[in-house]
Amino acid sequence: MLYYAFDPLYLYLVLPTMLFAMWAQFLIKQRFKKYSKQRTMRGLTGAAAAYEVLRQAGVNGVRIERVSGELSDHFDPKHNVIRLSDSVHDVASVAAVGVAAHEAGHAIQYAASYVPMKIRAGIIPVTNFGSMLAIPLVLAGLFFEMTGLINLGILLFGVVVLFQLLTLPVEFNASRRAINLLRDTGVLAKEEIPASRKVLSAAALTYVGALAVSLAQLIRLMAIANRRR
């Protein structure tokens, strides 16, 4: 148990990745705030932009709803719904339009049966299970000196890392689809595209940060388990 509490890998490996993830979260908030002040030339709100992007892509039957919270925008494939936050749904800014188009990109992925998205969706139940039990199982294994529990915890945590790894191409592809459609459909003017791209690039960094933290934790858990052997 002491190995887990005082392991130096936390200081030299996990902590730096956590700081990077915190910086990524700060960056997206700052960029979203900055470009939320830049009104779109066409005056389309986030919801209107999402509808237009879906229409141009030939994707029908996707509902768009408002959801509370800050940067809580997401696509729900189970109910085929895009949920946009208050700062995006009815706001005609390049930041809001970029975020809304990104979520529309996820809906387009789902309609096109984009493979990484399908695989990620398939392991969500195991991922949810693993995220709750992985660390407790490792700690219990260390406390009771049960190698089997430690290995099971590491295996479940590995599924969490796999999920986050699969998230990267899904998010990057959705952003690429969004930027291309915003440009090709004229929802945003040519000179507005770089601002939306900066917002989506910052958002992508948050997923990179989350993966880095989880990967560092996985390496740490494996090192602790190896020492116990």
**Catalytic residue numbers?**
103
* Beta partners for residue 63, in sequence order: 81
User: 36: closest CA among 99, 96, 103, 101?
Assistant: 96
CA pair distance 125, 131, nearest whole angstrom: 10
* 172 vs 197: CA distance, rounded Å: 11
Task: Give, in degrees to the nearest 5, the angle at Cα 194 between 199 and 51.
Answer: 70
50: nearest Cα among 28, 72, 73, 29 = 73
φ, ψ for residue 108 (rounded to 5)?
-65, -40
Task: Report d(CA 189, CA 117) in Å as an integer.
Answer: 30
